[in-house]
Structure 1
């Protein structure tokens, strides 16, 4: 067990778990398939609403809380299904994950259909969404974060100096202690990527399938990489989109967010420069970047309408995920540059509710994010390490480095990792297709290259000359869409790594 250290709403949740001895390392034994063990019925009302007009069916799969004690306490996993439209063409199941960790995926089959998932895919696969362990309609967990909690985002706030890191350390320690105090059922330490991968295999078996295909976005790439490494013989076709670079998110991975922002902001800067007469942010990309630094520096000294420099940087980071959000981002910068306090108050209220005493809408997602991230791998516990990293990255990545290098509750997490993080297995079948935009704020291209190297000949990397978070269906590139669709429907894996030009 790790000793405790002494030292609102998340906009960009990835872009997102008592005390006691750690469970033993669990072998990756595959569950045997057989007769389907699930009973499909109506989905929860909020899922029905979110999925409309597509109709999904939902079911519950029971799995062990701790796989070291498979006959012990069980928890529920809620899964959804959109059945293959053409039974004669049906290949099997395609499990889906939206990322996080902590994101709900029950409505994801319907959301992908609404975004334009090709009918050649929906003809061949049962699309399986799910709330992974701890999330939403599965047996949920909660740290009890309220709308007025000082811990409200999975990305630490931008630290303008050393005292800001020290102040954030107190907030991070309080958040870790709050999670431990609210962990009445002792479930948080069992939320790991490895256990979630084991859950995927239990779901596959409960569906009666010999193998499963998988499509995961963002953190879902870490989960998919873990599953493909732990159960290679149970994998059919694996598509990992917007890769974080490994089977877990560690401190180096979070610091890469700052690299992603440096690589992605120029796209917005070029867009805004062409619209200077409308937004007044600068006539050149360099002037737009200077406007960002001016706004951030001004708000560091004198917050406006509840928005300080840290929140401004977080808002900007989140709005770089999609080019369709650029107009709203430009409008936000314009209001702040002009000192419009009323507009700033509206932005602040929209970002973070202020009703005292109520659970934050993001409480569950933040709890799962913290639990999985902190349980997967050891994080540094010395505050000095974070001060040094913040100073380094403030210089290396001036746009956002002093945020993503800042200290998180993982430095004070009360539970040590129960087992080492899952290692990538390069010896399995060649069935892993990696999709990666060249410019992505939260999962920069480096993550795709890292995973490609680790998987070796098992994988092929499709690089897209585009900006944003999400490639397949969620992006607009025809080359990437066609490549991934051919793979899912015809088993046509690219012979070599592929570069897709911008449309």
Structure 2
């Protein structure tokens, strides 16, 4: 089954630990510091003069574009920012951070700069601004210059490469799916091999790939832009980056939007995000089951006659496919149980992926036991490197293989959809370099200028984890929950979902846009319902 170009891109960039979350009550000023243009020194004002940008040599991105950022709005500018490889050695070697900008087209309405913080780890902010820039400019009405960046290790920024082999770059291998009987021996061997390759080939740049350095790079970018404060829209893993920035530089934040957040527990960080995906898949799968059993589906996409039959059918099919080898005798890829589970887990990110996933399930269901040809798009070694390096460099991971095996056995029973993968061993268990410092603890110390927006049935960053982020921020934050499924809320899944989810998504979009353009947040945490009505 062929994948569309957009789905190939999504799978390529989602990578190993892809992260991912009713209607808004009457908005009130979040706090004087957050909502009033006159609140305190350094607060941006509408109509402010655009600052100079020392250290950034802007040029038209379209020049020599070569299709890398297709769809980039006309007039988008690009530049490269030099930042220290090691902030402890500010006069030493530098790395380049690719930056893009869409200027406000209404100077009298301009408040400042809105930074789009990408997810991943490993996603390109330049690509995201290319895809979302026009919609974001329309929503914010010229309130901001829109800026984003490729984090170090990503896209057009300075790269690192562990030089991983083709077999290790198979997506269903990068994620440590256990064997049919739950054995993790293959994953242990692969994880150890990947960690050794990174130690051997990754170099200084790979060792510098951390959340802490991305936060420092954002602060360097703020200074280069000449802005006293930044506003931000952070997505998925980017919400953790944004939260850490807000903790480290609270006086430099203006209006701060965190879209689809994970649990910021400093003792686990990415290990906790990955483990949470087991229950998150359980939360989200019923949305697909209802879609795939709807009477209006045609024969190619109707998985079962009743929604309650879709899950057992999927589990039975995956179990049967566990007996299929990954390659046929002539070397061609075949659909296995873990490849089917991998596609399922990724398809839950967006309703737009349901149709193709359902078609694959129907094809396998009706194959009569015959192998189904199937290839997952490969991930580049450099993309895999940045994703692994950030999560392995950020926090200590357990070293005990028996501990991982025990966790897998228990998780497979509790959450059979994901078959133990989210708690399985990863290269971080064998990582050679230990984290230089402890992860940042998010607290309630700072201005009340954070708005969180979160789907109730997010398959990557589940609602229960976002509640932990909300709790950590205390009165600094308000959260808008959305009675919908999928990963990413603002300007995202609502346009591609069913009518009920569209209403909930539109409600959330209004809340975020209102905050970004006026500084007003809901008076309390709220829920955007499928009816589109306001509810506490």
Output the TM-score relative to the length of structure 2: 0.83
Using the TM superposition, name which of 138-147 and 309-318 deviates more. 138-147
- 1:312 corresponds, among 323, 340, 364, to 340
- What secondary structure, in the 3-state scheme, does the structure 1 residue paired with 2:142 have? helix
How many residues are treated as equivalent by the alignment?
467
Structure 1: where are the runs of 5+ without partners? 1-7, 17-32, 354-360
Partner residue in 2 for 1:28: none
**Unaligned ranges ≥5, structure 2:** 1-7, 20-49, 327-332, 495-504
Alignment of 1:64 with 2:89, yes or no, is no
How many angstroms apart in 2 are the aligned matches of 1:426 and 1:167?
A: 43
Of residues 125, 145, 161, the one that matches 1:105 is 125
**What is the CA deviation profile of residues 136-158 of structure 1, one whole-angstrom value per residue up to 9, with x for unaligned ones?**
21111111134333664653224
Question: 2-side partners of 1:327 and 1:290: how far apart?
Answer: 19
- 1:87 is matched with 107
1:293, CA displacement in angstroms? 0.4
Q: Quote how far apart the aligned CAs of 1:85 are.
A: 1.5
Counterparts of 1:265-414 in structure 2, within 5 Å, are 265-275=285-295, 278=299, 279-303=301-325, 306-339=334-367, 344-345=372-373, 347-348=374-375, 351-352=376-377, 361-414=379-432
Post-superposition shift, 1:88?
0.7
Shift of 1:352: 3.0
- Residue 329 of structure 1: CA displacement? 0.8
Asked if the contact 2:161/2:385 (under 8 Å) is kept, the reply is yes
Corresponding residue number in structure 1 for 2:271? 251
Contact 1:10–1:154 under 8 Å retained in 2: no
Q: 1:287 to 1:62 in 2, by over 3 A?
A: same
Residues 413-456 of structure 1, C-alpha deviations (whole Å, 9 max, x = no match)? 11100110011131100011111000011111112101000000
Distance in 1 of aligned mates of 2:371 and 2:75: 39
In the alignment, which residue of structure 2 is the partner of 1:22? Answer: none
C-alpha change, 1:235 and 1:246, in structure 2 (3 Å) is same
1:40–1:192 CA distance, 2 compared to 1 (3 A):
same
Contact 1:426 1:454 in 2 (8 A): yes
> Within 5 Å, which residues of 2 pair with 1:222-233?
222-233=240-251
- Ranges of 4+ aligned residues in structure 1 off by more than 4 Å: 8-11, 46-49, 340-343
Deviation of 1:244 (Å): 1.3
CA pair 286-137 structure 1, distance change in 2 beyond 3 A: same
* 1:500 corresponding residue in structure 2: 528
Deviates more, 1:420-429 or 1:449-458: 420-429
Q: 1: CA distance between counterparts of 2:198 and 2:486?
A: 33
| Post-superposition offset of 1:62 | 0.9
TM-score by length of 1: 0.88
Q: Quote the offset at 1:55 in angstroms.
A: 3.5
2:518 to 466, 478, 490: 490
Q: Partner of 1:179 in structure 2?
A: 198
